[in-house]
């Protein structure tokens, strides 16, 4: 889970971060998002699940940011913005995409 920028990223971390950025750009292209804007930040929210020895479900929530370099206040802003879009969509309110 992202916890702030690491002092030094390993070559494997740099390669993985670059692959994630490339994958996001690929998804944007595949779903025909307009590519006239530069991807500057992203926040990937994830859930991992497993079952413990007693059969109970165990969940772990986490997030990834671009190169683990996005400050918490920016992450909160991204989350709040997306949350409001979800709420508006659930209520049937049209939103401007800009």
Buried b (16+ CB within 10 A) or exposed e, 69-83: ebeeeebeebeeeee
| Assigned domain for 95 exists | no
pLDDT on residue 96: 66
Q: Is residue 6 part of a domain?
A: no
pTM: 0.72
Question: Residue 39 domain-assigned?
Answer: yes
DSSP assignment letter at 36: -
Look at the chain and report how many structural domains it folds into.
1
Q: 73 is in which domain, residue-wise? A: 11-90
Query: Are 58 and 52 a contacting pair, CB within 8 Å?
Result: yes
Does residue 66 form part of some domain? yes
pLDDT of residue 50: 94
The series of mean pLDDT values per 10 residues for the chain, 98 residues long, is: 64 94 95 91 93 94 88 93 93 74
For residue 96, being part of any structural domain is answered with no
Let me know if residue 76 belongs to a domain: yes
pLDDT at 35 (0 to 100) = 87
pLDDT of residue 52: 93
Distance between the two ends of the chain, CA-based, in angstroms?
A: 29
Is the residue at 2 inside a domain?
no
Is there a domain that residue 71 lies in?
Answer: yes
């Amino acid at each position: 889970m992202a916890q702030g920028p690491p002092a030094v990223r390993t070559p494997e971390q740099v390669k993985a971060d670059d692959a994630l950025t490339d994958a996001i750009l690929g998804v944007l292209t595949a779903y025909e998002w307009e590519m006239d804007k530069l991807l500057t930040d992203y926040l990937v929210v994830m859930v991992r699940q497993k079952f413990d020895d007693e059969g109970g479900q165990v969940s772990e929530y986490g997030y990834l940011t671009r190169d683990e370099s996005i400050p918490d206040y920016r992450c909160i802003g991204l989350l709040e913005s997306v949350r409001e879009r979800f709420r508006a969509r659930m209520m049937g309110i049209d939103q401007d995409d800009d």
